Structure 1
Amino acid sequence: MKVLHNTISNKILRNRMLVETERRTTISFYKYFYIDDPNSFRDTIYRKLNDLHVLGRIYIATEGINGQISVRKNNFNSFRTILYNSHPKLDKVRLNIALDNNVLSFWVLRIKVRASIVADGITDHSFNYLNVGHYLKAEEVNIMADNPDVLFVDMRNHYEYEIGHFKQALDIPSNTFREQLYMVVKMLQHDKNRHIVMYCTGGIRCEKASAWMLHNGFKNIYHVEGGIIGYTNRAKELGLPIKFIGKNFVFDERFGERITSEVIAHCHQCNSLCDSYTNCRNTHCHRLFIQCNNCAKKYYGCCNLLCKNKQLATTSYSV
């Protein structure tokens, strides 16, 4: 039987990606629906996508599917057909094409079965994740954004919010989605009748968050269809003003997609305007942080002098 997982080292796979000449499209997608046998579903879709040389990560659970992948442009239609035909609930599922689609994003295909497609920490068995808020398209988002009585809530981690967000959005200061779900209910206890618009990167977190808010007694809950990616693509297609400023953080090699020219974050070392994330070059640290080019040279790609000295003692580095 064919091996249904990767057996090649990440280093080799990354080098293969870097020399690949065929252009790729980066896509994200998700769908909440019931899967009675996630393991069997996983193995079937792995075989088909691996044969198409699809790269990326896909999570499968009884509650649905969540994927961020890259596919060769000449295989895009085949990929779409496979995905649409893999389950009746996935027929015509929304595919979010990356905003910054000219950068290589993944080098290995990983498809994993998990307890949930987005970690939420919810243990309340009466919670119905399919009872969601109202979807908003880009033109509706802009109308809401111009209304000072509407509250926008960012359902991403604080470091995602730092480099880009809707102008008036509320940041829920947390490191994980599961923390946010409980914090947002607590923070907005006195706003249960207010019109609240929730958003995230591609829609998966804000959709579940909208259901959680309704479950906790909030009345007028909306979420952005397709998240920031879906909003921006549609706004550009329709020639609408973009109400999101800065970069959209993404969880792959790119770290961010430029949406507007504004730089709203600062280098974590010198405080100059900068919105480029990197990982500390000290492999024992690997901290995610914002670093400008000058500090990258000064600290050799590290987050502090201690990490710099450790890195210099083990390897050479050039900017």
Structure 2
Amino acid sequence: MTYTVAALYKFVSLPDHKNLQPWLKAMGDMLNISGTLLLANEGINGTIAGRSHDIDAILTYMRADPRLSDLDVKFSDSADQPFLRFKVRLKREIVTIGRSDVDPTCRVGTYVQPENWNDVITDPNTVLIDTRNDYEVAVGTFRGAINPNTESFRDFPQWVADNRPQLEGRRIAMFCTGGIRCEKASSYMLGEGFPEVMHLKGGILKYLETQSPKDSLWDGDCFVFDQRVAVGHGLSETDWSQCFACRMPLSPDDLQNPSYRKGVSCPHCADADTDKSRFEERQKQIDLAQTRDMVHLGRQT
């Protein structure tokens, strides 16, 4: 079975978001949807997966709310169910920057469509910033992009403050996986007095989906927050995997490293103080379930 993966978000005032949670959870469970949706006063964000007609049904349900009628959704496919269960969580922010004065519903940078992105980022007066975390950037990024080396999106405002001299007087262009982080980052930077701030509409996923590989300025693959780990052009699955212990993405070369032990450790965490005995037992149970053609984690479908 092929599963449809839908990455979605929208910044919109949802003062009743707590009331929406049980209805969305019930609908997702009824349709056998997996993944996570985040709800906050500032909007909705998440990635979900299921059979294509079930994804269509839950999106139709969400879009019946006039505030979500133009919900931004990016689709891709997965050969396996990429999530274990379905969760609808209440949050203070749908993407956490930790600044209450940042509101993309009031102020946001200029959207750049994927077909125009190459022209923007090859302009010598443009500073190109990858707003994702360091482990995501390690999997792939746009040529010439600055890596802020942040461990979380909360670190972005401090990075801007520390690097303001090299950013002032330049046109700022930013990108992230699906568009949500760079949209919020653009609102922050406009509030900090940067006059010309742009961001990639639909994020890396939309660029990889729509732009020809021969014209692409993207190097590597794009990390995604599900069991596919990373996708390439055309949003096809790639050969990256992920360490269960530290959750770091692993390349094929990492899997050949002597410190890699499936489900237990990898080159990034082999020397760390982790509960390796518990991870070893977990991997034994997974291997045993596979020999019996059973699902160890997640839904039986």
TM over 0.5: yes
Using the TM superposition, give the Cα deviation of residue 116 of structure 1 relative to its aligned residue in structure 2, in angstroms. 0.8
Q: Which residue among 263, 274, 278 is the counterpart of 2:242?
A: 278
Structure 2 residue 239 is the aligned partner of structure 1 residue 258: no
Q: Which residue of 2 aligns with 1:107?
A: 84
Q: Which residue of 1 aligns with 2:103?
A: 128
Q: Which residue of 2 aligns with 1:294?
A: 256
Q: Which residue of 2 aligns with 1:212?
A: 188
Distance 1:146 1:38, change over 3 A: same
Alignment of 1:1-319 (within 5 A): 22-85=1-64, 87-98=65-76, 101-123=78-100, 125=101, 127-130=102-105, 131-236=107-212, 241-259=215-233, 276-280=240-244, 285-286=245-246, 288=248, 290=250, 292-295=254-257, 299-301=260-262, 302-303=265-266, 304=270, 310-311=276-277, 315=281
Is contact 2:5-2:78 (8 Å) kept? yes
Using the TM superposition, give the Cα deviation of residue 308 of structure 1 relative to its aligned residue in structure 2, in angstroms. 10
Using the TM superposition, give the Cα deviation of residue 190 of structure 1 relative to its aligned residue in structure 2, in angstroms. 4.3
Instruction: Note the alpha carbon deviations across 1:123-178, whole angstroms, 9 max, x for none.
Output: 4x4x4332000000012101112222211100000110011000010001110101
Corresponding residue pairs, total? 273
Instruction: Note the alpha carbon deviations across 1:18-48, whole angstroms, 9 max, x for none.
Output: xxxx431011000001111111011222222
Q: Which residue of 2 aligns with 1:6?
A: none
Using the TM superposition, give the Cα deviation of residue 71 of structure 1 relative to its aligned residue in structure 2, in angstroms. 2.0
Name structure 2 gaps, 5 residues minimum. 288-301
Distance 1:298 1:110, change over 3 A: same
For the aligned residue pairs, the C-alpha RMSD in angstroms reads 2.7
Distance 1:314 1:240, change over 3 A: closer
- Give me the whole-angstrom Cα distance separating, in 2, the residues matched to 1:113 and 1:175: 23
Is contact 2:33-2:55 (8 Å) kept? no
Is contact 1:151-1:195 (8 Å) kept? yes
Distance 1:90 1:202, change over 3 A: same
Distance 1:294 1:220, change over 3 A: same
Using the TM superposition, give the Cα deviation of residue 121 of structure 1 relative to its aligned residue in structure 2, in angstroms. 1.1
Using the TM superposition, give the Cα deviation of residue 92 of structure 1 relative to its aligned residue in structure 2, in angstroms. 2.8
Distance 1:118 1:314, change over 3 A: closer
Instruction: Note the alpha carbon deviations across 1:210-262, whole angstroms, 9 max, x for none.
Output: 000000000110000011011222224xx8722111110111112211239xx
Q: Which residue identity is paired with 2:206?
A: G
- Give me the whole-angstrom Cα distance separating, in 1, the residues matched to 2:55 and 2:250: 34
- Give me the whole-angstrom Cα distance separating, in 1, the residues matched to 2:271 and 2:159: 35
